[in-house]
Chain A
Amino acid sequence: MKLPPGQYLTEDFPVLTAGPTPRVPTDTWEFVVVTEAGEKHRWSWAELMALPSEQPTVDLHCVTKWSKLGTSWQGVSLDVLLDGVDTAADYVMVHSYGGYTTNLPFEDLRNGQAWIAYRFDGEDLHPEHGGPARLLVPHLYLWKSAKWVRGLRLTDEDEPGFWESAGYHDYGDPWREQRYQGD
């Protein structure tokens, strides 16, 4: 077993949140991708459920230094969702219900690296862990895996999100220990 530098192993699943936990009913939930040209692509909950899903088992690394290994999820790959989206964007701003944002390069959402996850450990994803659905992008620190995900805005320019504008690293690779700006 190998952990990224500075991390320790935990068996439980700590709950971190920057604000009140949104309760988003699935009958009003939607996921929206807006391209750099302003083109919108929307999925209702039923439409998300109708897409082919995957069951990735991944390691999670939180910037507060805990790591949780071998977590089991179910969700739709971003490769599926972005398949019909016409874009040449280089960056993405992820938006959540409740107002949270986080930014990352567009390429980090492609090629089997990211999912819209709605089940954890065989159960529907609890609101405290980001349900009904969260972004899961486990090769970056967990603040990039936005809970209560609502949509993606595809952009040509990189902009800092909620934590990235308050001292945290723009990219957040746990294996390079990119915790803070300048790391």
Chain B
Amino acid sequence: MDLFSDEYTDGNALAGPLRELFTVDMTSAVGRCVSCGGEGPVAGMKVYAQAPGLVARCPSCQEVLMRLVRGPSDAWLDLRGTMSLRIPMPPE
């Protein structure tokens, strides 16, 4: 193992934690990055999980798209790096 490897995983690591907050599968939602404007599915984000919370970064520019902190009785979701999330919905 490379001692200095950056240990991140893909956005599928967000599936369970986001399932706690939303009633739909958020990994197929498409986010737009505030920093670079790039678009991509939540599943394609780079997720740093070895941290006090989950940090999802843009795969293009590395800026933070999402922070999710789970406390014992609250969750904090910071989306300031995400301009929008396009969430697939069932037909009305």
Which A residues contact B (CB, under 8 angstroms)? 14-21, 63-64, 99, 126-128, 143, 162-163, 165-168, 179-181
Contacts and interface: CB of A to CB of B under 8 A. Distances in A.
B57 A16 contact: no
A16 B72 CA distance: 20
Interface of B: 3-4, 6-8, 48, 50-53, 55, 57, 62-64, 67-69, 71-72, 74-76, 78
Given A99-B63, A143-B52, A163-B69, 16 more contacts: A15-B50, A17-B50, A19-B64, A21-B4, A21-B6, A99-B64, A126-B4, A127-B4, A165-B78, A166-B53, A166-B68, A166-B76, A167-B53, A167-B74, A168-B53, A180-B71
Contacts of B63: 99
Contacts of A63: 52
Contacts of B53: 163, 166-168
Contacts of A179: 71
Chief secondary structure at chain B's binding surface: loop
A166 B78 contact: yes
A168 B55 contact: no
Nearest to A62: B52
Contact of A180 (B50, B68, B74): B74
A167 B71 contact: yes
A20 B61 CA distance: 12
Nearest to A180: B71
B71 to A, nearest CB: 4
A125 to B, nearest CB: 13
B69 to A, nearest CB: 4
26 contacts: A15-B50, A17-B7, A17-B48, A17-B50, A17-B51, A18-B48, A18-B64, A19-B6, A19-B48, A19-B55, A19-B64, A21-B4, A99-B64, A126-B3, A163-B69, A165-B78, A166-B67, A166-B68, A167-B69, A167-B74, A167-B75, A168-B52, A168-B69, A179-B71, A180-B69, A181-B76
